[in-house]
Amino acid sequence: MALWLLGFCAALAVFLLLLYLIVFREATPRKKAKEEDGDAADHDRPLNQEPWCPQLEVKNWKEVGLFDGCPWSFDGCGSAQEVVERIWKVPVCKGLQGGHEALLSRVKEVLVARVQLVVPKEVYFCVIYQLANGSELFGGPPTEHT
């Protein structure tokens, strides 16, 4: 009977040893993975603070001089309507006159947006027309008259 008890204890010891090794091996890679991930603060930052995320900055037309490389200059403009005239490069071609007049009568404010990309390193500008009814229209960078 003592031999039976000795065999049972040996089998139990082997079972516990294997169980310990399996659990220990599974826990070790997880621990290493956490250490390799780096600082936990990197994972908690908002998406817009990621280095690859484009940076958007919007300013009123009066502050557009603060943007380096802005394609528009609104020096001498006193109102949003004058800014629209400058952006649209009056005289406007015949096909756009209706849209131009509608925009002039409804525009409340003009904003300029700058989008900076990190990869590739590029900068884009656009205008945002805020209308009297609260809606917004977007305009791209200037094009040359042909």
Q: What tokens does 51 get?
A: 């280095």
Residues 134 and 74 grouped into a single domain: yes
- In 3D, which of 41, 61, 62, 47 has the Cα closest to residue 110? 61
Structure confidence at residue 66 as a pLDDT band (50, 70, 90)? confident
Residues 40 and 51 grouped into a single domain: no
pLDDT at 39 (0 to 100): 56
Determine the structural domain holding residue 29 and report its residue range: 2-44
Q: Does residue 132 lie in a domain region?
A: yes
pLDDT at 44 (0 to 100): 78
Count of alpha carbons within 13 angstroms of residue 13, beta-carbon side: 6
Q: Does residue 144 lie in a domain region?
A: no
Confidence (pTM): 0.64
- Structural domain tally of the chain? 2
Give the mean pLDDT of 125-132.
95
pLDDT at 41 over 60: no
